Amino acid sequence: MSDIILTNARLVLDTEIVRGSLRISQGRIAAVDQGPSAAPGAIDCEGDLVLPGLVELHTDNLERHIEPRPEVHWPHRPAILAHDGEFASVGVTTVFDALRVGSLLSGKTSDRPYARALASEIAKLRTEGALRISHFVHLRAEVSSQTLAEELEEFGPEDRVGLISLMDHTPGQRQFRDLSYLRTYLQKKRSFTDAEFQEHVAHLTSLRAEYGARHERAAVAAAAHLGAVLASHDDTTEAHIEESAARGIRLAEFPTTLEAARACQVHGIKVIMGAPNLIRGGSHSGNVAASELAREGLLDILSSDYVPSSLLTAAFQLADFWGDLPRAVATVTRTPAEAAGLEDRGRIAAGLRADLVRVCRLGGLPVVRSVWSQGRRVG
């Protein structure tokens, strides 16, 4: 691979923005220099911003591609490629594909295990060189299920499982403390009747009582076995955070209250919030707004969650809110990379992976102009 030089760029570094150039060699950043480069063939960035490639820790996007509508199942290989290309186009160069483990074998929302097969298909496409960006597996461990422990046992250290999050969607607590939001969601998505909704609530509650403690232990053990970061999810109370801290958790996905976010800061746990929450001005489940946590200095990481393009948009919205672009960019680059234990990316510095995004702003909106993954142009 021949060297690539980007020049006349505004490089977003850890704490500052500098006008300069950088050289890419063998998929790595070989040099970062202030001022323009006169090297033949250098790419003139015309004063655009150059950021580190974005790092996405929690996205449900792949599931949307394999089931674009309820009970409509799409072939996995083209779905994975579409998902991969979509993220490359919006500046994401590292993605943790969230796959559910823990299934319901009965009831109107019954489902079947799929994570093992899908992870294998992602790995095969990676081996074939078909993927544009870097993929890791994020296992969403549903404790209110019937098969979690068995599904976790199917994964090994070779599967690139980088993150396991403890999910507890038992109605009446965490994300769905207010059952009216869950009722509305299920009636719109699954056409639940009132009687079916009550039956669903009772079913999940009984599963939590029967399997919950065992499944929590299984998820914690799996994270240790796989070398994965363990995260909590939808923490609501200080007690939830204390439980997380006791388990060694250092990443909290989408805390639902200011109380929980403040407790995270006390215990040194990074807070990840949804970019759609920030852009929309609030949570679709009625929980704490990401903007409130940003105002309180409690927001560490952004995730696109269910809208891939939201990650970059929200980072620039956060930059305007804080008046600090490098700090905001860190929430989608350096900090998630560090939280996931990835030391070779997330920053613009010599020796790191050449994962880069060229961005301009049009009417305040960030627009991706080019994307490089390990020095290869992918978008």
55-80 mean pLDDT: 93
pLDDT: is 109 or 194 the higher one?
Answer: 194
User: What is residue 72's DSSP assignment?
Assistant: B
Q: What is the reported pLDDT for 187?
A: 59
Helix-helix angle 258-266:238-246, to 10 degrees: 30
Long-range own/partner contacts, residues 219-226 (CB < 8 A, 24 or more apart) = 219/141, 219/143, 219/148, 219/152, 219/164, 219/166, 220/166, 220/247, 222/139, 222/141, 222/152, 222/153, 222/155, 222/164, 223/164, 225/157, 226/155, 226/156, 226/157, 226/159, 226/161, 226/164
Residues 279-302 have pLDDT tens digits of: 999 887 778 999 999 999 999 999
**What's the pLDDT at 127?**
97
Distance of CA 169 to the CA centre of its chain: 19
Report how far apart, in Å, the C-alpha atoms of 102 and of each of 66, 115, 120, 206, 360 are. Answer: 18, 9, 17, 15, 42
Higher pLDDT among residues 284 and 41, named by residue: 41
> How many percent of the chain have pLDDT more than 90?
78
Q: Is the pTM of this model over 0.75?
A: yes
pLDDT confidence of 177, banded at 50, 70, 90?
A: low
Task: Collect all residues with Cβ–Cβ distance below 8 Å to 199 and sequence separation of at least 6.
Answer: 107, 108
pLDDT band at 171 (very low <50, low <70, confident <90, very high): low
In the chain, the domains with their CATH numbers are 53-344 (3.20.20.140)
Q: Which residues of 355-369 are buried (b: 16+ CB within 10 A; e: fewer)?
A: bbbbbeeeeeebebe
What pLDDT was estimated at residue 269? Answer: 98
